[in-house]
Amino acid sequence: MAIILVRAASPGLSAADSISHQGTLQCSTLLKTKRPAARRWMPCSLLGLHPWEAGRPSPAVYSSLAVNPAGEAVVSSEQKVYDVVLKQAALLKRQLRTPVLDARPQDMDMPRNGLKEAYDRCGEICEEYAKTFYLGTMLMTEERRRAIWAIYVWCRRTDELVDGPNANYITPTALDRWEKRLEDLFTGRPYDMLDAALSDTISRFPIDIQPFRDMIEGMRSDLRKTRYNNFDELYMYCYYVAGTVGLMSVPVMGIAPESKATTESVYSAALALGIANQLTNILRDVGEDARRGRIYLPQDELAQAGLSDEDIFKGVVTNRWRNFMKRQIKRARMFFEEAERGVTELSQASRWPVWASLLLYRQILDEIEANDYNNFTKRAYVGKGKKLLALPVAYGKSLLLPCSLRNGQT
């Protein structure tokens, strides 16, 4: 299972890397300083598809085929993503049987205690922008905790390339350079101290480069695409920008040794919650995205509801809009319900921050309803009081037996 650092369209803080007018990567102020940025990452868990009985496949793919505009059957986005899930699960199982060798470069140009300083800076960034989640990671082992911080920071930096203060200067070529930099850190050649933390992390855990590349592909989508014809297209986008984080972090978060869930089902669960959280982001930020000329809603479903892009830009809550939103919220909750079952399959030390993130993030849907579905001019958010109340609930849930064991006892 894993933590997902879901992109939120709300105003946020510090960008990790910025791009100059010439399109060259500039060293980030995340290394030393703090400053405002356009978008922030919300940490949320990615977990659980049922059934969890050992040996039974998880229903991760609702449809293996989709129909294109010409009426031809094609492989669905869900099937394409599930193929990635199977590859990641196989990699984890193989490397758990044969522990990964320490491939850390011994001659990496780092100052004395350089890696410790790099990880500490990652922790500071995580604490600054994701306080509740950061506190929850204190229950994890030091190695796992620091690794999750490093993944968080890389995802944040990647997101800010297209959503940070210098996003207007980003080009596909700049993203190509960022991907080349990713390849370098995967081979032990980090560009800066924050890269060095991730480079060290991937030498300690069986983490594959594919989800990282896919996240960069999601950033490319933001440069060229502002509409999604159907949910199949939107699903792939949600995987790129959110589900990928789960695949990155499953090996770090760890699976409870007593769990009877298959590795494939754990990865599928991570993906399910990633989709749920990104769908929640989209529903919360309809108005903000529209003001940027973007509509992250299935065009065919809008048309079926008697709505158009013009209705979105006008931002008037009508009965048609309420009915449309009810269906969209129902879909997001379906993914949350599938995901919730898997939280208990995590190693116990990793469960608390995951549960806290899941419970808090899911409440955003409740707040949208409380605002009478006005996500054009009202922002749905979870107040501090509700956040505080969720923490002990999350801790209590973190003590539960894995679902796979409870199912086996019934």
Q: Residue 316 is part of a domain; what is its CATH number?
A: 1.10.600.10
24 vs 73, residue with greater confidence: 73
Structural domain includes residue 16: no
pLDDT value for 178: 97
The answer to whether residues 96 and 102 touch, using CB atoms and an 8 Å cutoff, is no
As a whole number, the mean pLDDT across the chain is 81
Percent of the chain whose pLDDT exceeds 70: 77
Residues with Cβ within 8 Å of 156's Cβ and at least 6 positions away in sequence, in order, are 5, 16, 30, 40, 41, 125, 129
b/e 151-180 (16+ beta carbons within 10 angstroms → b): bbbbbbbbbbbbbbebbeebeeebbeebbe
Question: Counting beta carbons within 10 angstroms of the beta carbon of residue 73, is it exposed (0 to 12), middle (13 to 18) or buried (19 or more)?
Answer: exposed
Structural domain includes residue 121: yes
291 vs 266, residue with greater confidence: 291
Structural domain includes residue 10: no
Structural domain includes residue 177: yes
Our count of domains for the chain comes to 1
pLDDT value for 135: 82
Q: Which of 48-62, 189-203, 205-219 has the lowest mean pLDDT?
A: 48-62
Mean pLDDT in residue range 336-347: 84
Cis bond upstream, residue 51 (ω within 30):
yes
Structure tokens at 56: 């039974």
Taking the CA atoms of 392, 398, 403 and 408 in sequence, report the sign of the dihedral they define. negative
Containing structural domain, residue 379 = 75-95+109-400
CA 390 to chain centre: 21
Structural domain includes residue 334: yes
Tell me the range of 42-51, 131-140, 189-198 where mean pLDDT is highest: 189-198
The answer to whether residues 410 and 356 touch, using CB atoms and an 8 Å cutoff, is no
Q: Which of 17-21, 247-251, 349-353 has the lowest mean pLDDT?
A: 17-21
At 108-139, the pLDDT tens digits run 555 557 899 999 999 999 999 888 788 888 88
Structural domain includes residue 2: no
The answer to whether residues 287 and 313 touch, using CB atoms and an 8 Å cutoff, is no
Percent of the chain whose pLDDT exceeds 90: 49
**What does 149-172 look like in DSSP terms, one character per residue?**
HHHHHHHHHHHHHHHSTTGGG--H
Q: Which of 86-95, 187-196, 233-242 has the lowest mean pLDDT?
A: 86-95
Structural domain includes residue 60: no
Structural domain includes residue 35: no
Q: Residue 69: pLDDT band by 50, 70, 90 thresholds? A: low
pLDDT value for 40: 34
At 375-394, the pLDDT tens digits run 999 999 988 888 888 888 98
